Amino acid sequence: MSDLDLLYTEVEDDLRASLRDLLAARCDSSAVTAMYDGDRSVVDPLWKELAANLGLAGLLVPEDQGGQGASAREAAVVLEELGRTVAPVPFLTSAVIATTALLGSDAPLLAELAAGERTAALALPWSTAPDGPLTAVAVEGGRLTGTVTSVAGAVEADVLLVLADGFLYAVAAADAKVTPVVSLDMSRQLADVRVDGAVGTLVVEDGEPAVRRALDAGAAMLASEQLGVARWCLETTVEYLKIRRQFGRVVGGFQALKHRLADLYTGVESSAAAARYAAATLAENDPDATIAAAVAQAYASDLAVLAAEEAVQLHGGIGMTWEHPAHLYLKRAKSDQIALGTAGAHRARLAGLVDLPA
Amino acid sequence: MTLAERVAAFLEAHDPASTDRLEFLRARYDAGLAWVHYPEGHGGLGLEQALQAEVDRLFAEAGAPTNQPEKNGIGLGMAAPTILAFGTDEQKKRFLRPLWTGEEIWCQLFSEPGAGSDLANVSTRAVLDGDEWVVNGQKVWTSGAHNARFAILVARTDPDQPKHFGLTYFLADMTDPGVDVRPLRQITGEAEFNEVFLSDVRVPDAQRLGAVGEGWKVANATLNNERVSIGKSAERETGMIGVVARTWREHPERRTPELHDRLLRLWVDAEVARLTGTRLRQKLAQGQPGPEGSAMKLGFARIAQQLSGLELELLGEDGLRYSDWTLVRPDHVDFTGRDAGYRYLRAKGNSIEGGTSEILRNIVAERVLGLPGEPRVDKDVPWKEIPR
Ligand SMILES: Cc1cc2nc3c(=O)[nH]c(=O)nc-3n(C[C@H](O)[C@H](O)[C@H](O)COP(=O)(O)OP(=O)(O)OC[C@H]3O[C@@H](n4cnc5c(N)ncnc54)[C@H](O)[C@@H]3O)c2cc1C
């Protein structure tokens, strides 16, 4: 089980490089900060560029269904870069989670998502763990009625995937009431979704397993986003402490800080191993994938929060400002920690998976 | 011929059941199947290190005798790669084969009473006399010196140079009459390590490893290997986590929610450390071990200490007992061996031996992250003028 390649292939490195250039040009941190004041103008053009022009929306979709036929390994690299820039695009919610829920179905929607023509969101609270309770709506004669709160990716979606009676339905966003909520992380703004007799198209008969598979994949992939967040925090903090001087010395020379950063580095490298393993097992359909996803979430989500908290603290006053981007990472990291199950929820899940019962 | 075919052909020619153990091991070395990533003629075939596991598995399946690597950890993990990197052809020929077969056990004569973390401060002197060096001084914490035939030794050859420049690295014979090994008892009750007194010990110049004055560079290669070898483990639940998980499964009556929470956290940490180790080894598959190994060792020590402490609490009343305080001089160390009390106490050494966790954090901060070094008042001063 440890023969899987936990490093990056050349193809993955190339993907990262092109994505990094594009994000540097198109996803300025001040544009992300502006989202907190309601200016979301960065989102649409950026997502269009990534989804359709770069073809990222179809990464996980097989070629004969209109996708790129790549794997979770490449998707993970994309998420590292998106995390690194707290990019406000619905890649994780649409191209990973909603897409995975549809993988296996013959709904034409899958090809439309893969082409970046449409964007979907799985209508569940963003805090839902892969083994947690699933919010469903009522269905009667193909008409759906109910509310799902705190859905990620719904603001950007034109189609929503809704669970009802064990089936998964697609509902046009235009036929639902999507109410954006003021969120801790406005770079992934949540929305409450209300359907009131909306017509749904049945897309997956065996809805619940498909949704759990999608959440599992989401949890595995989220670890790479968290890794990207943590890497940015570590690197930015190290660079700052190499130039910031107090007491006639570079602050990064004080041993108390060196040791904290060494520990953070150790944690980030560990996160990388956990995230890569989760991605590699998912890509290979390895039987260890579920454990790997739970391990990755149990580790990487807390580590990203630690990295962001250290970044704020070690920047001093500037770290507390609206102007410095550190807060974007703190808000993303803290929201990501709760997303798809907290670290504690994943540990509790592991207790069953690895036979360490309470 | 594939590697598997090579092993099969070797086993065909040397039946493990009827061949003398040492003869078998020497032949395996000569066939290049000892450590396949070593060069031909030195026990290897110049292949990727990753292929070794498969070779070892095939030999184990055939019931072949092993070289008992647990008894020669310092030899295999530290002396051998350093000899390979810096040794002359004669040195490699003389030392590597009996080292690998376990005929000659090695120890590490680095630390001294005045030179621990500050290894470059060693004061053991080596003075050239004809084509031999005469060595005088005291070493300490020398693990396994009581079983060792040879030692890797760092000594001062030029006290007029600043401390890092006046050192030289030697391969010393522990049977020299000037070597006096005395047990040093440790917190577990046993004496795994020793004090070693060196009085006019004679080391031929041919047993100098690397150039005169280059001892610091050579020693660092050894230490990087030490940190990588310490952080090793491949399968899930190997090492301390395996032991504690077993205890947990065997004692449902002792479980509490608080212990459960700690166990799961540590299980995750141990699993992630295992993956980090795998990832690091993949990175190093071709290259030399670098400072990243230090980060691994930091995590390994913390997890082992927390797990072994947890196990004692889990055992409750039984955790109050200890197996045996008798002074013994073991021929190998097993961090996960003996009883829980021993494991708890022995694990304390994990953050001291092979570089303390504080020193490792300095190394990571400086060499990986590029942060400024510690103030070094003694760095550019001739060694003999440093107050001590
Ligand atoms: C079980 C065991 C086996 C060993 N086996 C061997 C062996 O076989 N061969 C061998 O040569 N050695 C061996 N050692 C020795 C080991 O390498 C040293 O103990 C270690 O390097 C620390 O040196 P010291 O004991 O002198 O502690 P010191 O260096 O005196 O350290 C005291 C404390 O100060 C801290 N400290 C020191 N410098 C700094 C700094 N710059 N910044 C922050 N903190 C600092 C240390 O972390 C430590 O907490 C062994 C040790 C143990 C425990």
Query: Looking at chain A from residue 254 to 293, which residues have their Cβ under 8 Å from any Cβ of chain B?
Result: 255, 257-259, 261-263, 265-266, 269-274, 276-277
Contact residues on chain B for A241, CB-CB shorter than 8 A: 371
For the ranges B7-11, B88-92, B334-338, which has the lowest average pLDDT? B334-338
Q: Distance between CA A76 and CA B240 in Å, rounded?
A: 31
Among A166, A185, A206, the domain boundary falls at A206
Contact B292 A269 (CB under 8 A): yes
pLDDT at A68: 95
Task: Tell me the average pLDDT across B253-261.
Answer: 97
Render pLDDT for B119-141 as a digit per residue (tens, 0 to 9).
999 999 999 999 999 999 999 99
Q: Spelled out in words, what is the top-level CATH class assigned to the domain B106-218? A: mainly beta
Contact B386 CB / ligand 1 (< 6 Å): no
Interval between CA B353 and ligand 1 midpoint (Å):
6
Contact B298 A355 (CB under 8 A): no
Closest CA–CA distance from residue A68 to any residue of chain B (Å)? 27
Q: Which residues pair with B112 in a beta bridge?
A: B115
Judge contact between A225 and A80, C-beta under 8 A: yes
pLDDT at A3: 76
Render pLDDT for B326-355 as a digit per residue (tens, 0 to 9).
999 999 999 999 999 999 999 999 999 989
Residue A331 lies in a domain: yes
Single out the catalytic residue among B190, B192, B226, B311: B226
Closest CA–CA distance from residue A331 to any residue of chain B (Å)? 24
Strand duo B150-156 + B106-109: pairing: parallel
Where do the domains of chain B lie?
A: 7-66, 106-218, 219-368
Structural domain tally of chain A? Answer: 3
Q: Given A270, A276, A355, which is nearest B249 (Cβ)?
A: A355
Which residue's CA is the closest to the ligand 1 atom numbered 18? B116
Contact residues on chain B for A253, CB-CB shorter than 8 A: 371-374
Among A83, A102, A119, the domain boundary falls at A119
Domain B219-368 falls in which CATH fold? Butyryl-CoA Dehydrogenase, subunit A; domain 3 (1.20.140)
Q: Distance between CA B1 and CA A189 in Å, rounded?
A: 60
Closest CA–CA distance from residue A279 to any residue of chain B (Å)? 13
Contact A258 B366 (CB under 8 A): yes
Q: Does A197 share its domain with A214? A: no
Task: Tell me the average pLDDT across B66-86.
Answer: 96
Residue A180: how many CB atoms within 10 A of its CB?
14
Which residue's CA is the closest to the ligand 1 atom numbered 25? B116
In the 3-class helix/strand/coil scheme, how is chain B assigned residue by residue?
CCHHHHHHHHHHHCCCCCCCHHHHHHHHHHCCCCCCCCCCCCCCCCCCHHHHHHHHHHHHHCCCCCCCHHHCHHHHHHHHHHHHHHCCHHHHHHHHHHHHHCCCCEEEECCECCECCCHHHCCCEEEEECCEEEEEEEECCCCCHHHCCEEEEEEECCCCCECCCCEEEEEEECCCCCEEEEEECCCCCCCCEEEEEEEEEEEEHHHEECCCCCHHHHHHHHHHHHHHHHCCCCCCCCCHHHHHHHHHHHCHHHCCHHHHHHHHHHHHHHHHHHHHHHHHHHHHCCCCCCCHHHHHHHHHHHHHHHHHHHHHHHHHHHHHCCCCCCCCCCCCCCCCCCCHHHHHHHHHHHHCCCCCHHHHHHHHHHHHCCCCCCCCCCCCCEHHHCCC
Q: Distance between CA B290 and CA B148 in Å, rounded?
A: 28
Q: Residue A230: which domain range?
A: 209-353
Q: Does A234 share its domain with A293? A: yes
pLDDT at B48: 87
Contact A6 B278 (CB under 8 A): yes
Contact B276 A299 (CB under 8 A): no
Across the A/B interface, how many CB contacts are shorter than 8 Å? 121
| Closest CA relative to residue A340, chosen from A201, A209, A150 | A150
Q: What is the mean pLDDT of chain B?
A: 94
Judge contact between A326 and A308, C-beta under 8 A: yes
Q: Does A37 share its domain with A92? A: yes
pLDDT at B50: 79
Residue A162 lies in a domain: yes
Render pLDDT for A87-102 as a digit per residue (tens, 0 to 9).
999 999 999 999 999 9
Task: Tell me the average pLDDT across B361-372.
Answer: 96
pLDDT at B378: 92
Q: Does A230 share its domain with A340? A: yes
* CATH code of the domain containing A181: 2.40.110.10
Percentage of residues in chain B having pLDDT higher than 70: 97
Q: What residue type is assigned to position A250 of the chain?
A: V
pLDDT at B252: 97
Q: Does A133 share its domain with A15? A: no
Interval between CA B361 and ligand 1 midpoint (Å):
14
pLDDT at B287: 67
Contact residues on chain A for B295, CB-CB shorter than 8 A: 262, 265-266, 269
**Is the model's pLDDT at B230 over the cut of 70?**
no
Q: Distance between CA B231 and CA A255 in Å, rounded?
A: 24
Contact residues on chain A for B260, CB-CB shorter than 8 A: 351, 356, 358
Among A149, A176, A206, the domain boundary falls at A206
Residues of chain A with pLDDT under 70: 1-2
Reply yes or no on whether B5 is catalytic: no
**Is the model's pLDDT at B306 over the cut of 50?**
yes
pLDDT at B294: 87
